[in-house]
Chains A and B, each alone.
Chain A
Amino acid sequence: MLNQDPLKYRELAAKAVEDKQLHRALAKMRDKVGRNAVNLYNQLSPGHDPRQDAKAVRRKIVDNLDVVLETLSANIRARGGHVHLAETGEDAVEYCLGVARRFEVSRVVKGKSMLSEEIHLNDALEAAGIETVETDLGEYIVQLKGEAPSHIIAPAIHYTREQVGELFAEKLDQPYTDDPPTLTAMARKALREKMLTADMGISGGNTACAETGHVTIVSNEGNIRMATTMPRVHVVLLGIEKIAATLEDHDILLRMLTRAAAGQKISTYVSYVGGPRLPDEPDGPEEFHLVLVDNGRSRILADPDFREVLHCVRCGGCLNVCPVYMAIGGHSYGSPYCGPIGAVFTPLTRGINTCHHLCQGETLCGACKQVCPVDNDLPRMLSLLRSKLADGDRRWDVRRQSLPTKLVFGAWSVIMRHRRMYDALSVMARFGQRLLPRKNGWIRRLPGPLGGWTRGRDFPPLAQESFADRWARRDKTGRGA
């Protein structure tokens, strides 16, 4: 897995902004899906915002997560499935390896799991000598390339079909083509061979339903049906928060998920799985395991300021409208969860200091909030994360990021509360700015940390007379402002 370092954000982003091909691909996503999502909400039922219903449903579930988890576990077990609560990523990986050893697995087919990226499952399986094949087409492409997904629901969005053609020609030993149906057929043939011979299927889940004890997986290719039902054992990895309490809640969330994710009323395939094959059933696995993964989520649950982020249904909708994501692509975030949701979720699970760029490298424009199917206030949480970096926070183990910046803002707040000091400083700055290079009146180069601005943009000079000065003159002379 590549690019798992959020500290490289700026460096990777600086490279990605030059990648014209990436921008074309992402713009297509934005224009096709991103901007339609909000319109689709409005079509559901005039005069009422379904996002608020979905938000209320998610809040109720997350606030009662212990009860919901217990119900889900009991119902899965009643059908003969196994449930394991994994406190950490390592714990979840170890559990999967244990199941694989017991079944003497040599090949795993998997798919539809960002969580497996979060816990580095593929690396662990490969290290244990188990071949692991992604079966979702996008994930398969990314895996063949030796890369990580760059979008939550469209993992290979950053590739053109020509690039996929070259990749398949090289890795699948096929003649080159960039015809999508032919490429799909190639992948289909290769993947079916893998699925027919795999001993274990691993999947994520878009949601589980506690009331019925099943896991729901949406897809548009249907490969995941085979990956989860053909092998002898199926393991589902699910974040502890991705659960609906009742079938009714499940229905509300599923509809919102597919709308926000792909502008679809429902996806092509919706798979409901949740137990081993019963004696009178023709197919299904011999054993079924549900691994509920915490990995930092209960810490988020315990903080009322951030609990809201657990409402997320992982539709990726916020990515498709985020201008920053559109400019830098998913790999810049150094985390499987990229874009605005990643910028909040990743710091909370991997450490706020480690991910300070993710918290700060956004404009707080609010487009993500507007499109979110559960009305998550991501800008509010980003701003709060920044305040933890500014002042430190023992509860979240955050060190203050910069004492000099703190002192600068402290001094600034003193000056700004005293108009005379502000004016005196302005007079000094007006003299000082004469030393700076200018062109056509505007400043070409600013000193120190402000220099970032003048890398590619000029900066306005202070006016010789401020508005306040002009107003004062008018009061005296009746002219001016």
Chain B
Amino acid sequence: MTKPKRVTLFIQCIVDSCFPAVGEAMVKVLERQGLALDYPANQTCCGQPAFNAGYRDEAARLASHYLDVFEDAEAIVCPSGSCVHMVRHHYMELFAKDPRQLDRARRVAAKTFEFTEFLVEVLGVTDVGATWNGQVTYHDSCHLLRGLGVKDQPRALLSGVRGLTLVEMTRSDECCGFGGTFSAKYPEISEALLETKLANIQATGTGAVVGCDMGCLMHMQGMIRRRELPISVHHIAEILAGEE
């Protein structure tokens, strides 16, 4: 894709409702790249929660809504790998028997990007002029890593941040146990996975974890707060928006 001039923001529902500062940080980073931004006010959710729980008709209705909202955009950027994975892969499953919608979905999916993927792959930037003093470790979110193949991009961006040192944790690619409704339905299992993840984060000695998906980060932060652990949690946009 050639470098677009205008970017349309897709702010996933939990960022919109619970973590608006993450959306604002992404806005800051993109504006510093000289991009004009749009935010269609009628956007809501990509449908992933329903899809993962098995409610495909309901998810397909939201997918259609997404296509209506974003069809005319030049490029769509979202601060979440799992939402982009939903659009890029599961929309094709949802519309497999509807050639007209499938065609629209293909076109919209081809211009929907995860934030770090967009910066590195489309804009060709790894240094966004950010400063952040300290050590961090990075968590690979499942859908971002295995679904979209985004592994090196966030790391490249982090290594472009002045003052920041990235310390890899053991099994950074292992699931944190969020899994959408799974986390509330099977709390014992979900917590066990999360404990392992938090132990691996703590073992790095950095005291800070960075990720690209607010789902995973909200999950981690949930237990960190409950247990009052000394780990700070950051969406990568917040790090990349950091100035001197």
A360 interfacial by beta-carbon distance below 8 Å? yes
CB pair B62–A391 under 8 Å, yes or no, is no
- Looking at the assembled complex, report how far the CB atom of A51 sits from the nearest CB atom of chain B, in whole angstroms: 14
Q: Given the complex of chains A and B, what is the CA–CA distance between A364 and B51 in angstroms?
A: 12
Beta-carbon contact of B55 and A390 below 8 Å: yes
Work out how many contacts link A and B, with CB atoms closer than 8 A. 196
Cα of A364 to Cα of B216 in the assembled complex, Å: 13
The answer to whether B54 touches A369, judged by C-beta atoms less than 8 angstroms apart, is: no
A-binding segment of B111-119, B129-137, B160-168, B174-182: B174-182
On whether the beta carbons of A324 and B193 are closer than 8 Å, the reply is: yes
Contact A419 B182 (CB under 8 A): no
Minimum CB–CB distance for B87 against chain A, Å = 15
With known contacts A366-B147, A463-B19, A386–B226 Cβ distance under 8 A:
no
Stretch at the interface among A56-64, A199-207, A451-459: A451-459
Count the B residues whose beta carbon is within 8 Å of the partner chain — how many? 65
Cα of A17 to Cα of B196 in the assembled complex, Å: 11
Q: When A419-B44, A422-B44, A453-B222 are in contact, do A364 and B52 touch as well, CB less than 8 Å?
A: yes
A354 is an interface residue with CB less than 8 A from chain B? no
Q: Is A468 an interface residue (CB 8 A)?
A: yes
Over the window 386-426 of chain A, the binary record of Cβ atoms lying under 8 Å from chain B Cβ atoms (1 yes, 0 no) is 11111100000000000001100110110011010010001
Docked CA distance A82–B155 (Å): 60
Instruction: Check if A327 sits within 8 Å of B41, measured CB to CB.
Output: no
* A439-465 to B contact mask, C-beta < 8 Å, 1/0: 110100000011111011111111101
For residue A360, which residues in chain B have a CB less than 8 angstroms away from its CB? 182, 185-186
Decide if A21 is an interface residue (CB 8 Å cutoff). Answer: no
| A14 interface residue per 8 A CB criterion | yes
**Chain B, residue nearest A442 (CB):** B225
B17 touches A426 (CB 8 A): yes
A472 touches B (CB below 8 Å): yes
A323 with B185, Cβ < 8 A, contacts A366-B147, A461-B18 known: no
For the residues of B in contact with A, the DSSP-based class is helix
User: Does chain A have a CB within 8 A of B230?
Assistant: no
A417 engages B55 (CB within 8 Å): no
Bound Cα distance A365, B177 (Å):
9
Shortest Cβ distance from residue B48 to the other chain A in the assembled complex, whole angstroms: 10
Residue A272 interfacial (CB < 8 Å): no
Is the pair B146, A367 in contact by a Cβ cutoff of 8 Å?
yes
A416 to B53, CA, bound (A): 16
Residue of A nearest to B65 (CB): A417
Question: B61 at the A/B interface (Cβ < 8 Å)?
Answer: yes
Q: Does B192 lie at the interface of the complex (its beta carbon under 8 Å from any beta carbon of A)? A: yes
Residue among A327, A365, A409, A456 with max Cβ neighbours from chain B (10 Å): A365
Cβ A323 vs Cβ B196 within 8 A: yes
In the complex, whether A268 has a CB less than 8 A from a CB of chain B is no
Instruction: Assess whether B231 is interfacial by the CB under 8 Å rule.
Output: no
Pair A457/B226 contact, Cβ less than 8 Å: yes
- Is B147 a contact of A416 with CB atoms below 8 Å? no
Which chain B residues lie closer than 8 Å to A451 at the CB level? 184
A77 located at the interface, meaning its Cβ lies under 8 Å from any Cβ of chain B in the complex: no
A328 lies within 8 A of chain B by Cβ: yes
| B68: nearest chain-A partner, CB-CB | A417
Q: Which residues of B contact A409 (CB under 8 A)?
A: 50, 53, 55, 58
| Complex Cα gap A389–B187 (Å) | 20
Contact A468 B55, CB 8 Å, known A361-B189, A362-B182: no
Centre residue among A390, A417, A465, A467 by max chain B CB count within 10 A:
A467
6 contacts between A and B (CB under 8 A): A360-B185, A367-B142, A383-B51, A391-B54, A391-B57, A456-B191
Interface residues of B (CB under 8 A from A): 11, 13, 15-20, 23-24, 27, 39, 41-45, 47, 49-59, 61-62, 65, 93, 142-143, 146-147, 171, 173-175, 177-179, 182-194, 196, 218-219, 221-223, 225-226
Nearest 4 CB-CB pairings of A with B = A457-B222, A386-B54, A363-B179, A390-B54
List chain A positions with a Cβ less than 8 A from chain B. 10, 13-14, 17, 35, 323-324, 326-328, 360-367, 369-370, 380, 383, 385-391, 405-406, 409-410, 412-413, 416-417, 419, 422, 426, 439-440, 442, 449-453, 455-463, 465-472, 481
